[in-house]
Structure 1
């Protein structure tokens, strides 16, 4: 797919002409969908009936799929080699940032996945070094939450450090309040409500309300951290990278 041609067609002022021309070069845009003027540099765009993308979004990724009645509003920023999937009646509001490093920084595939009737509201940041997966009927509410799928642990002295990657998985019927921070590799079970300002550093499985944990000391060092992780080998990466074991 010619990304430059897709970019130019995404700027065509007449909506119906924009959809016709994008279909002609291989994208799959339903004529009952709505597609505003955007910076489009995606390799593959699939918009199902009655889905919609608003205006002035920057979309530079691999594949984007919006199921029926799914939506992306305005002024969002998607950049990096990852896929986007929005389920039926799911949506992303305004001014969110989704970012992934290139293939010398990131390893393997990653996706942003929203299940049916799931929403990301406004002014959030999601790191997609690894995947972020939401179930059905969930909401990332409020503003200013951060979801991180990578982090670092430094040696006690010197320059040595290890990067730790891990998918974030969020279940069905989950509510996330404003200003929450997710660490890499955490899983949130079904029917969980997170209070505003919560820092999620471990899996949550018990349904109900969870609020911020107290600050505590953990006796740890870099060698101990590495021993609990799997080192990623066989890639031309710019740094030493580890991954949390799959659950």
Structure 2
């Protein structure tokens, strides 16, 4: 195990061509020809990166069962993505726990966010986790049962997540929705084309289906 960690540190600083070869050869990762990882420590159990998927510099992704990056997806810079090993001491009562992060096609995670994947986190196609310092936290302490517990998080497609939000385990944001800055999303909502905001977040108003953000054909926003 120690040798593999030392090898991982060495691989981080390699030029991409050599890094890609090493990640496929020694870790068995599935990396499309046009996928790319910058100067980042990204070593989940499984890694799948589709065409043009990109992970930038100074990201950490460890203790995940799986990280899946859709085509043209972006994990930009300085994000901390972690989970809890399936063979750890906690969450043994959650036999179906899935420590996975799925980043959909053309989706983007910007900078300096914390994503806890003790349980599954899904970020839908064309969705942007915008701004800085948001937290997606799937686990916590159940004070009634006196043990740690976890629930998955789902963010739908074509969503826009504002800066400094908190999303808790069990929460869901439907497709084509906006979550306002500094909001706390603490439960599963169902109504699409809506602005949600507040602490806790509630539906504020409807949004137009004709909005350009919801109809664009590429992830990049000018």
Given that 1:44 and 1:62 are in contact with CA atoms closer than 8 Å, whether structure 2 keeps it comes out as: no
Question: For each residue in 1:12-59, what CA deviation from the matched residue of structure 2 results, as whole angstroms up to 9, or x when unmatched?
Answer: 745434444555x35xxxxxxxxxxxxxxxx4322102111111x122
- Are the equivalent residues in 2 in contact too, given 1:9–1:18 (CA < 8 A)? no
Say whether residues 1:167 and 2:152 are aligned partners: yes
Larger CA deviation: 188-197 vs 3-12: 3-12
What is the CA–CA distance in structure 1 between the aligned matches of 2:20 and 2:121, rounded to whole Å? 29
Matches within 5 A, 1:1-247: 3=4, 6-7=7-8, 10-11=11-12, 13-23=14-24, 25=25, 43-55=27-39, 57-102=40-85, 103-106=88-91, 107=94, 108-155=97-144, 161-206=146-191, 207-213=193-199
Structure possessing the higher radius of gyration over alpha carbons: 1
How far did 1:205 drift? 1.8
Q: Check whether the contact 2:62–2:81 (CA below 8 A) recurs between aligned residues.
A: yes
Unaligned runs of 5+ in 1: 27-42, 216-247
Q: Secondary structure at the match of 2:105?
A: coil
What TM-score results when the alignment is normalised by the length of structure 1?
A: 0.70
Give the total of aligned pairs: 193
Cα 1:10–1:201, aligned 2, differ >3 Å: closer, same or farther?
A: same
Matches of 1:118 and 1:134, distance apart in 2:
7
Q: What is the RMSD computed on CA atoms of the aligned residues? A: 2.5
